[in-house]
Amino acid sequence: MAYPAESIINITTLINSAGLGTSNFGAGMVFADFDSSSDATFAEGSFRDYGSPSQVAAQFNIASDPYAAALAWFSAVPKPKTLRIYLRIEEDTPVESFNDAINKGIWFYWYEFETSIRADDAVVLALGAAGDAAGKFFAYTTNQATVRDPAATTDIVSKAVTQGSRRMLVASHATELYEGFEIAAVFSRVNFNAANSAITGEYKKLPGIDAESLTPTAYGAMKQKGAVFYTVVETGGERDAGRIINSKTTSANGEYIDDVFNLDAFTNVMTVALYNALTKVPTKLRQTPAGQQVLIDAAAQVGEKFIGNGYLGERLYIDEETGEEKLSRGYQILTKADDILLISDAERAARGAAPIVMRIFRAGAIHTVDLTANVE
Residue 235's beta-bridge partner residues? 238
* Torsion angle defined by CA atoms of residues 330, 268, 134 and 71, in that order, rounded to the nearest 10 degrees: 90
Residue 173's H or E segment, with its range, is none
Asked if residue 23 lies in contact with residue 268, where contact means CB atoms within 8 angstroms, the answer is yes
Q: What pLDDT is attached to residue 275?
A: 94
Residue 295's H or E segment, with its range, is helix 289-308
Q: What pLDDT is attached to residue 17?
A: 64
**231 Cβ partners below 8 Å, 6+ apart?**
211, 212, 213, 214, 219, 242, 243, 245
State the CB neighbour count (10 A cutoff) for residue 196. 8
In the chain (376 residues long), the average pLDDT of successive 10-residue segments reads: 72 66 94 97 98 98 98 97 98 98 98 96 98 98 98 98 98 98 98 97 97 98 98 95 97 96 96 93 94 97 98 91 90 96 97 95 96 96
- CA–CA distance, 30 with 185 (Å, rounded to integer): 12
Pairing of strands 315-318, 325-328: antiparallel
Angle between helices 257-279 and 289-308 (to 10 degrees): 150
Q: What pLDDT is attached to residue 5?
A: 66
Rounded to 5 degrees, what are φ and ψ at 306? -85, -15
* Exposed / middle / buried, residue 65 (Cβ in 10 Å: 0-12, 13-18, 19+): buried
DSSP 299-336: HHHHHHHHHHTTSB--EEEE-TTT--EEEESSEEE---
Rounded to 5 degrees, what are φ and ψ at 360? -120, 145
Asked if residue 298 lies in contact with residue 353, where contact means CB atoms within 8 angstroms, the answer is no
**73 Cβ partners below 8 Å, 6+ apart?**
28, 30, 80, 83, 178, 181, 182, 184, 185
DSSP 27-94: -EEEEE-TT-BS-TTS-TT-EEEESSHHHHHTTB-TTSHHHHHHHHHHHSSSPPS-EEEEEPPTT--H
Pairing of strands 137-142, 110-113: parallel
Among the listed residues 328, 163, 187, the one whose alpha carbon sits nearest the alpha carbon of residue 244? 187
**91 Cβ partners below 8 Å, 6+ apart?**
none
- CA–CA distance, 144 with 153 (Å, rounded to integer): 12
- CA–CA distance, 91 with 34 (Å, rounded to integer): 9
Rounded to 5 degrees, what are φ and ψ at 172? -105, 125
Pairing of strands 331-333, 358-360: antiparallel
Q: What pLDDT is attached to residue 308?
A: 98
State the CB neighbour count (10 A cutoff) for residue 327. 9
CA angle 243, 139, 120 (to 5 degrees): 120
